[in-house]
Amino acid sequence: MKDIISIGGQTGGPHDGGIKSIKVDLFKILKKYCESTYCREIDQYAPVLRVDGTITKFGPEGITRLRFSRKKRYITVDIQIPEDVWQPKSKNELKLYLSEKLRDSIEVCVRRLKKDNLDVNETKLFSEIDAAIKSLIKLIMKASANNRFH
């Protein structure tokens, strides 16, 4: 089965606050919950994290560079994350932040698809994404509770 939501990434330095591993965890949980793109014309949502580092900067925080390939059947955007946004966050705060930004990026993609008069069942799509994020939050809370007692 093809991945419904893939998450690419590029970092601008040797340190990223653990974003690379969080990206993998987020991908795995989305893969578990997301069953379809809910749009017949695409097979995949493909957001890409652009994480500033000491070597390369990608620009201000935001969702940029939306690209839709009808031929290759995917839609993608860049999620730009400056150093001053990710550096002060704990690993759990980064998980929540990335979950929120990922959801926001899919909303941008859906708006574009709908603008092109394509049918998207966003209710089903976002119920699956929200279930994945809720599951991730439960895991974070459970891990935080366990760490308090050790």
pLDDT in tens, 86-138: 999 999 999 999 999 999 999 999 999 999 999 999 999 999 999 999 999 99
Instruction: Measure the CA–CA gap between 60 and 84, rounded to whole angstroms.
Output: 10
- Residue 139, domain extent: 8-148
Instruction: Measure the CA–CA gap between 112 and 66, rounded to whole angstroms.
Output: 9
**SS3 sequence of 105-117:** HHHHHHHHHHHCC
Residue 42 lies in a domain: yes
Cβ proximity of 63 and 91 under 8 Å: no
Residue 2 lies in a domain: no
Residue 1 lies in a domain: no
Residue 91 lies in a domain: yes
Cβ proximity of 102 and 26 under 8 Å: yes
Instruction: Measure the CA–CA gap between 15 and 65, rounded to whole angstroms.
Output: 24
Residue 28 lies in a domain: yes
Count the domains in the chain: 1
pLDDT in tens, 23-73: 999 999 999 999 999 999 999 999 999 999 999 999 999 999 999 999 999
Predicted structure pTM score: 0.93
Residue 72 CA neighbour count, 13 Å, CB half: 9
> 145: pLDDT confidence band, cut at 50, 70 and 90?
confident
Report the SS3 class of residue 78.
strand
Instruction: Measure the CA–CA gap between 129 and 103, rounded to whole angstroms.
Output: 7
pLDDT of residue 148: 60
